[in-house]
Chains A and B, each alone.
Chain A
């Protein structure tokens, strides 16, 4: 299998320009800037079926095409490296191991959308990612891959890193823009979408780190090559982040459409201590949880959606048969309660309510009526909020209660019996 975004991982000094240049480094950017028009690049991207790997799976070429051509305002590229989705750690690897791959993607993207400034918003805790990318940026400036008239063309480009301050919601693209503008990270009302009115009210493309790392290889090797790596309507490979109760947790680059079973049992070494699998989250904590009978699902955006879950950020969290699902639900709910931005009333009040309710059940204070009310409290958040965070609470926490309802019931019954006999 041909590796794309992880092709340099593990190499000595993989993050240095010297190493990057050995393997056709910046040749994709040179090709784009010297021999391709933006329209041709967008067309190439569309045919590659590259989709947004931050989690939404939106067609990248189409997104770039939304940038209005007649708008006299400056255009911006904003790179989403906030990577706050629990269970996800792929962008961190790219930033640390192959930052030039991201920079080359940024150059091509900016050239395509007519932007001369790119902001890379990196999760605040990712100090190593930030220093590695900054060194790469410095190297790139020194070698004329960034700055004025890059690579001898007439194209100018500056790249700036912005360090996040720890809010999960700032990974939501419009909250990220607010944060980048110096405001509190509140998702914006849409429309207008960022392509029309984004950063500083200017047309803006927001792409995930992994997405952009795919761009140069597509330009260099062609859209057909990339499309063929993937599955159905999603070209290329994906960096799957496997964590939890497996023998070999880590980041695995595998073709889209690889089954979840293959990822867990073939690549991640199966379940620890020879135990059996009880549940698995396929795409970060926001993705509805799957049960052992669903392991043959192909891991691409469309297949997982058809199954009622989502490919999301590619964060696979595996839980074996020792896992208390009420506890797991409580941990997830605590995360959402802590990270809800607090803007929309259903999500603000609901996420905390859900957490306190499940926590009470977990601590043996559940009451017989709880399971009658809880689904409603969970379900009514989704669809009623500005951003997708509310939907994530509903979908993800809802899946624990519906798929492992008996565990909740037993917990309530047994504990209730103990204290109220």
Chain B
């Protein structure tokens, strides 16, 4: 393995590593536009040029392989000068419309200009005009050709990652333009990623356009709840701006690097699946037509449960949308303490579309966790539904499952009649709510601390971006309140306590901790 020195720091890396990769390992960030770790090298932007001893010309760090004894300088006067020079060329025909550009604040032209440019303009000539400004490329992405620096990241993404081949660079010289091939539309389930990798404001997201300046965004690490892949994401939200859109908190989701799961990417199905966080929420406990307080709601459930003599007359329909912690609380309260056997989470859901990349047909983020923790008997929720219909259940407790969608109105109307207490605990209003006797508002994933277990059995952390909306509470916290009255009371104060109990009670989770799961997850023991 060649050993080299970058800015005085020594490092040994495998042969074939490029200078920019070795520098990244050392924590030395060489500026880049066209280079992206996940894409083939193009070498066109020239901002990453560095000085290599014994080489007469500056070399592009993204393409030059390391060699034994190589001495690289990334901050020498020559290097600093060339960054200035390259920026100068890149900005010559750039419209400098930062005040109206969504990318402002996370734009590499701005960032590098502040770091390395800071020259007075030498431009006395007219800029090249390009035809397409604010042109829709498809359902999700807008193009501005004048802002484009032709780094071809999007071209290489659609050629090599999504393999959908929509983009090309047309014409030559400073009249080159990024565009779609004739007759094409950018409409694949990974379109949104080209906005992420665009280092400038050439490709912007229709969903995010003009909604919020990026410097107002807070960012919380999370996991996409949209399918069983569990792509690592960042929930980007804003609570502080008075003029924000419809008082929505979440402005956008962005993929977060996890080489074992989603790498740098996420699908559009997941990316735009966040409006439910702020819209159409259940915000207060409701008994039939009356809004009630939490203590009243808890008493209502407790009384109903206590009135049942035979635990077989209680049914629980959990959900693979719940976290491992929530599911463990379900198990603890109903299965372990109340000895309820009618507990399941498996519903006859129509599988969604899937592809051979990230999107899975199972649209639940925690099926693997639910199976491990609830270890349900043979059969499905169908059996519980049948019992409820026949009047064999006094209490039916449903977590987040839209029974109307799954089993039809008639069935659910029948259940309302035949059960004494039909509890719906969920985050969003759906058709089932109006049939439930009691609705309990629960938190969405972005309001929860906890873990999901993806299809690879990888346990991954989600963190609360903000407090639950209205009076909503986390699912396990609600069950904890019930446990205080039903007894024995849960000894948990925070999600981490619940998770510790999971690791002690459920063998595949043994010895895991939130610290060990960290950013990248841990795989269940088999």
Contacts and interface: CB of A to CB of B under 8 A. Distances in A.
A345 B86 contact: yes
B126 interface: yes
Contacts of B88: 380
Contacts of A343: 44
Contacts of A338: 172-173
Interface residues of B, number: 34
Given A349-B89, A349-B90, A385 B173 contact: no
A380 to B, nearest CB: 4
A202 interface: no
Interface string A377-393: 10011011110000000
A105 interface: no
Interface of B is mostly: loop
B92 A353 contact: yes
B172 A385 contact: no
A369 interface: yes
B43 A342 contact: no
Nearest to B121: A373
Contacts of B122: 373, 376-377
B46 A357 contact: no
A384 B173 contact: no
B108 to A, nearest CB: 13
B442 interface: no
A360 interface: yes
A342 B169 contact: yes
Contacts of A385: 46
B173 A383 contact: no
Contact of B124 (A350, A360, A381): A360
A184 B125 CA distance: 29
B45 interface: yes
Nearest to A352: B174
B46 A369 contact: no
A353 B85 CA distance: 13
B124 A342 contact: no
Contacts of B85: 346, 380, 384
B291 to A, nearest CB: 61
A302 to B, nearest CB: 19
Interface string B42-63: 0111110100000001100001
Interface string B20-55: 000000000000010000000101111101000000
Nearest to B56: A383
B149 interface: yes
Nearest to A384: B46
A342 B173 contact: yes
Contacts of B150: 342, 345, 348
Interface in B132-155: 149-150
A352 B63 CA distance: 26
Interface string A212-223: 000000000000
Given A348-B150, A349-B93, A386-B43, A360 B125 contact: yes
Nearest to B63: A189
A81 B122 CA distance: 40
Given A346-B46, A349-B93, A357 B124 contact: yes
A345 B87 CA distance: 9
Nearest to A188: B43
B128 interface: yes
B413 interface: no
B63 to A, nearest CB: 5
Given A360-B124, A384-B86, A339 B172 contact: yes
A195 B62 CA distance: 23
Given A189-B43, A384-B49, A342 B57 contact: no
B125 A356 contact: yes
Nearest to A381: B89
B125 A383 contact: no
Interface of B: 33, 41, 43-47, 49, 57-58, 63, 82, 85-86, 88-90, 92-93, 122-126, 128, 149-150, 169, 171-176
Given A373-B124, A383-B57, 6 more contacts: A337-B174, A338-B172, A339-B172, A342-B150, A357-B125, A384-B82
A-B complex: 10 closest residue pairs judged by Cβ atoms: A352-B174, A342-B176, A340-B173, A349-B89, A356-B125, A373-B122, A380-B85, A349-B92, A189-B43, A343-B44
